[in-house]
Amino acid sequence: MGIWSKLFAKKPNKGKESNKGKKNKRVEESVVSKSHQPEFVQKERRDNSTYEIYKGTDAESARTFLLTKRVGKRLYYIVVETPEGNWGTDVEGLYLERLLPWQTKISSAKCEGHIIPMSWSMFGLEMAAKGYNDNFIAKVQCGKCEHKWLDGVRYQKVTVVSCPKCKMLNKVDSKNIQVVLV
C-alpha cells in the first residue's frame, strides 16, 4: 500500500455515524493548497544578493509556502509577490516587505483582534523599532472567528489586518511591545 493510500484510504465504519456525503477534509485541504501554490517566476542576482521570485494569489498561501522554505545563507531571499503585499523569507525568517496603505486606516477595522504574546522574532521586531522596516511579523488572532495567523504589524501602533478565514478587518495594537536597545 502506497503512502497516498495509507493517508487517504477509507476507514471501515464501525458503528459510527455514516460519512456518506461528507468530504475528506485532508484531501480537500491538499487540493486547495496545491491550487494556490505560488508559481516560480525567476531567480535573479542583484549586487551580492540572490532573489528567488514567485507569483502568488494571496498572502495566506504565500505565508504557508514560505514557511516550508529554509534559507541557509545571508543575502538569499525567497519572495512571493501577491496582490496583498510581497512576502518573503531569508536567514532571519518570514517578513512582509511593507504594509499596504489600508493597514493604517484604523477606522476601516470592524473588530478588535489581538497579538499573541511572544510570537514574534526579535530580529524583525528590532528592525521595526529602529525604523528600518514599517512592520514586524507577529501571530494575531481574529476578534470575530478567533482564527490565528502570522501578519505584519506596526511597531508600537495600531495596525489593520485582514483575517484569512472570515475576511474581517481587525485592528491590533502593539503599543505594549517595546524594544530597549542597549
For the stretch 1-23, pLDDT in tens is: 343 333 334 444 444 444 444 44
- Looking at the fold, whether 76 and 103 belong to one and the same domain comes out as no
* Residues 114-153 pLDDT 10s: 999 999 999 999 999 999 999 999 999 999 999 999 999 9
**Residue 60 phi, psi (nearest 5):** -65, -45
Last residue in a domain, options 41, 72, 97: 97
How many residues are listed for the chain in this entry? Answer: 182
Residues of the domain holding 84: 29-97
* Residues 50-97 pLDDT 10s: 999 999 999 999 999 999 999 999 999 999 999 999 999 999 999 999
E strands present in the chain: 39-46, 49-55, 76-82, 85-90, 93-96, 111-112, 114-115, 136-141, 148-153, 158-162, 169-173
- Looking at the fold, whether 73 and 103 belong to one and the same domain comes out as no
Q: Which three cell numbers stand for residue 148?
A: 490565528
